[in-house]
Amino acid sequence: MNKRSITGLISLILFFMTINTGNAAGAVKISYVITFPEAQAHYADVEMNIEGLAQNNLDLKMPVWTPGSYLVREYAKNVESFTASSGNQPLSTTKIAKNCWRIKTAGVTVVKVRYSVYCFEISVRTSFVDAAHGFLSPAGIFMYPDKMLNEPSTVNIVPYKEWSKVSTSLNEVNGDTFTRHAPNYDILYDSPIEIGNQDVFGFDAAGVKYEVAMCGGGNYDKERLKKDMARIVEQETAIFGENPNNYYVFIVHNYARGGGGLEHLSSTVLGASRDNYANDQGYHGFLSLVAHEHFHLWNVKRLRPIALGPFDYDNENYTTDLWIAEGFTAYYQNLILRYAGLSTPQDYLNAVAGTINVVENQPGAKVQPLAEASFDAWIKSYRPNENSINTGISYYDKGALAAMLLDLEIINDTKSRYSLNDVMKYMYDTYYKLKKRGYTDIEFKQGLEKFAGKSLDDFYENYIYGLTPLDYGKYLGYAGYKLTNELAATNEPTLGVNIINSNGKKIVTAVLRGSAGWIDGINVNDELTAIDGMPITDISGMLNGKKTGDKIQVSIIRDGLPLTLPVTLLKNNHVKYMIEELTAPTAEQLGARKKWLKL
């Protein structure tokens, strides 16, 4: 990458850019006032005040994406009614790019800008405002003056009607909850803000004050959550040896059906289903999400791939390391629950087996290497289509499995002296704390090799850059476990298509690569109507008694026209693995198991 050689040059260029704009840090004062005069219609109104300017033009920009969510979302599409003035004088403005407004300042020192933002997309990375509450995803709300990303700003929030609370990790100014301070734009864009009447409670863990802001109600048990979330925090902190925050906020959006999360420096936003807390599976899923997003405060927010910070807010930020940033986090989200005693070893192994099944049943695992899945996140995993199952693999799922293999490799190589935890701490200490920069691909590999005590060239060539199937059995064997495919002995035939039932119609949603449906030409969006002339009720039932190699006639409706396709049935190659204990594990295997699962 030749990173070192270009660093000096970049510093020099940045120095001259600062001189040229005439805005040394501290000379400019930026503040925002956010109001919600039409919250019921989903608008946030922004007033931005900039003082201390000395330039002829001022370019204001809105990021096109938000860190942690690797898709260009074009936040500027929600902006309207942009105006600028200085005192009583209107200033002329013109758009010079999709996300950039140029104001002709002609030497004035003070500028006031006003614009409205439409906020009606429910997700953890988009803003949403209605009469009940306001959630501000800052990259889509706050414009920044070009080349002034290092400037601090203050945010004053004027709540709608009876909204009474603000939940954000931005510090209060003068003890006023409605006025917050951002030391720079990276921190502002990394600090979502929830305003409304959320149910707020707190707990202390690892020397840090935690706030939980529950929005939208739900059947959660506060005392249980406080206890269990604290256990997760303590276990994660123990891996890295320190918790870098003083205050951390969980903003939880509860919906009829919700999920997903987005990590930030000192907070996170989680989606949840409001009625799911009372059942074991739902509660466990929520804790797993908590463990995932909270783990990110180290892995990716601080210990990060070199491409992920400082951010380019105008363009895609490419990295081949999301299998580490996301995959390792996905690995730890379940392992941490095991460490914390919130799941049994068998619960954990079942979750691992489930992930193995997802990866191994996806034809795309044989097409897209992990590093490539990461690089192309912007155009593939964040923009899936009907063929994604055949062309790609999740860097979460396969990355988590690669992390597990590396963990077991290190435990085995060192006779249980070290594990992946030691690598994470070493990398955090070395790159975040000491070198104060991100790691390169090779540096992360070197960190792993340092603890494995051997070259991982083959591992990387096969599993990260290549398409060699992961050898789960070998690595699980190190800890005295074996992998068994429950479907190994079956010889059932299948069409190899996924279908949904839509108003009684069987509609094809995916055709698996290499399957009978793929080879004989069944298409996505075909309506399956009959097999061998018999109307379709239940496809798998209708294939009972058929054998691999049998020829059947599949009647379909495609684009309104009937068609019958001859199809030769092929064997169902789906796998369903389970992980079981070896009957007579050695002392070494038992030692590795103890180290791995903290038994």
Q: Tell me how far, at minimum, the Cβ of 330 lies from Zn ion, in Å.
A: 7
Residue span binding Zn ion (CB under 5 A) among the ranges 106-114, 156-164, 320-328, 500-508: 320-328
The CA distance from 58 to 43, in Å, is 25
Side-chain-side CA neighbours of 517 within 13 Å: the count stands at 24
Q: Tell me how far, at minimum, the Cβ of 539 lies from Zn ion, in Å.
A: 36
User: What is the 3-class SS of 291-354, one letter each residue?
Assistant: HHHHHCCCECCCECECCCCCCCCCCCCCCCCHHHHCHHHHHHHHHHHHHCCCCCHHHHHHHHHH
The CA distance from 93 to 98, in Å, is 14
Q: Tell me how far, at minimum, the Cβ of 299 lies from Zn ion, in Å.
A: 9
Q: Tell me how far, at minimum, the Cβ of 259 lies from Zn ion, in Å.
A: 12
Closest to Zn ion by CB, 101 or 286: 286
Closest to Zn ion by CB, 198 or 329: 329
SS3 state at 128 = strand
Say how many residues touch Zn ion, by CB under 5 A.
2
Site string for Zn ion, 321-360 (x = CB under 5 A): -----x--x-------------------------------
Q: Tell me how far, at minimum, the Cβ of 125 lies from Zn ion, in Å.
A: 12
- Indicate the pairing of strand 144-145 with strand 57-61: antiparallel
C-beta separation of 202 from 210 below 8 A: yes
Closest to Zn ion by CB, 313 or 323: 323
Closest to Zn ion by CB, 180 or 284: 284
What does the block give as tokens for 172? 């209060």
What does the block give as tokens for 217? 């109600």
Closest to Zn ion by CB, 203 or 331: 331
SS3 state at 236 = helix
Closest to Zn ion by CB, 160 or 298: 298
Site string for Zn ion, 124-163 (x = CB under 5 A): ----------------------------------------
Q: Tell me how far, at minimum, the Cβ of 396 lies from Zn ion, in Å.
A: 7
Q: Tell me how far, at minimum, the Cβ of 263 lies from Zn ion, in Å.
A: 6
C-beta separation of 132 from 196 below 8 A: yes
Closest to Zn ion by CB, 61 or 296: 296
Beta-bridge partners for 494: 570
C-beta separation of 165 from 196 below 8 A: yes
Q: Tell me how far, at minimum, the Cβ of 565 lies from Zn ion, in Å.
A: 42
What does the block give as tokens for 62? 């809105």
Q: Which residues in this chain contact Zn ion in the complex, by CB under 5 A? A: 326, 329
